[in-house]
Amino acid sequence: MNSIIISHIGKRESNQDFVLVEKMNPDTHLLLVADGMGGYENGELAAKLVAENILTYLSTVKNIDSIQIQKAINKANLVIRQEKDKRGSKLGATVGGIIYHSNQAICFWVGDVKIFHFKNKKLIKESTSHTLMEEIIKNGSIKDSKQINKYKHVVTRSVQGDVEHSKIEYFKVDNIDHSDLFMICSDGVHDIYEGLVIQNLLNSNDTLEKTVSQIESRLKFEAKDNFSLIALSKHL
């Protein structure tokens, strides 16, 4: 298991993304991006609390599955709620992560941190963000793309102390080999780079390092928001 990590402030005053890559035991890794929610106070703290409490809980679990991941999210919710009560201010974060264990990946997310799965440099799976825009598209209630786009950053699920609105989605990938590549991206990345655009970059470069470097260079110039990315592969 190898990873490449980038995280940058963008054009914000501070970086409210928190990136975590940890080995929980010899066969299990947790890779995670937490994004402090825009407009809320203490976004950096919220992202850090969410990531660290997910890690703390999952480190105690022998067999990790979607139920245990949800329990980890619930634990992080409790800590966020306690911190909100203590500070008297809003706190919250969205999160996306991968549990990598014995050639299997469990990919999970709450909110708009996005996960891409590529195989042989082809996009196989892309998570669907928990945003009002995605709900409107799903329901078909508004057809005008300009009207829909304004709801792109209104998240409908997050870790902000309310368990009811922090249900995970997830997918599993078995039998991972050297042709598999995963990316976890905060919205600062996927606002500019859609999955098929990343696919084109992967196919135009001979190494993943070049692709990530190309992504980072453009984001440093164009990204208005913080941007963070973890690229995960058995072979880099």
Q: Which residue has the higher pLDDT, 139 or 71?
A: 71
pLDDT exceeds cutoff 70 at 149: no
pLDDT beyond 80 at 144:
no
- Say yes or no to pLDDT of 104 above 70: yes
Confidence of residue 131 (pLDDT cuts 50, 70, 90): confident
Q: Give the predicted TM-score (pTM) of the model.
A: 0.93
186's tokens: 């905060």
Residue 114 has pLDDT above 60, yes or no: yes
Q: Work out the mean pLDDT of the chain and round it to a whole number.
A: 91
Q: Where residue 153 falls among pLDDT bands split at 50, 70, 90?
A: confident
Tell me how far apart the alpha carbons of residues 41 and 207 are, in angstroms, rounded to a whole number.
39
Contact between 199 and 121 (Cβ < 8 Å)? yes
For the ranges 141-145, 184-188, 206-210, the lowest mean pLDDT is seen at 141-145
- The residue type at 208: L
Question: Lowest-confidence range among 59-68, 149-158, 164-173?
Answer: 149-158
Distance (Å, whole) CA 225 – CA 69: 28
pLDDT at residue 140, as a whole number:
63
- Please, what's the b/e burial string for 24-55 (b: 16 or more CB within 10 A of its CB; e: otherwise)? beeebbbbbbbbbbeebebbbbbbbbbbbbbb
Tokens, residue 159: 């870790």
Question: Does residue 118 surpass a pLDDT of 70?
Answer: yes
pLDDT for position 45: 94
What value, to the nearest 5°, has the Cα angle with vertex 77 and ends 76 and 83? 90
User: Does the pLDDT at position 21 exceed 70?
Assistant: yes
**Which region among 32-46, 92-106, 211-225 has the lowest average model confidence (pLDDT)?**
32-46
pLDDT digits (tens, 9 = 90+) for 177-186: 999 999 999 9
Whole-number Cα distances in Å, 54 to 10, 71, 80, 137, 205: 26, 9, 12, 31, 35
Domains of the chain, first to last: 2-128+159-233 (3.60.40.10)
Q: Which of 47-56, 196-205, 226-235 has the lowest mean pLDDT?
A: 226-235
The percentage of residues in the chain with a pLDDT greater than 70, rounded to a whole number, is 91
Q: Name every residue whose Cβ is closer than 8 Å to that of residue 164 and which is 6 or more positions away in sequence.
A: none
Res 89: pLDDT: 84
With the C-alpha atoms ordered 98, 102, 103, 104, is the resulting torsion angle positive or negative? negative
Q: Give the C-alpha separation, 5 to 69, whole Å.
A: 23
Phi and psi angles of residue 141, each rounded to the nearest 5 degrees, phi first: -80, -25
Q: Which whole-number Å values give the CA distances from 13 to 16, 47, 61, in the listed order?
A: 9, 16, 37
* CA dist., res. 105 & res. 102, Å (int): 8
Percentage of the residues of the chain whose pLDDT score is greater than 90: 75
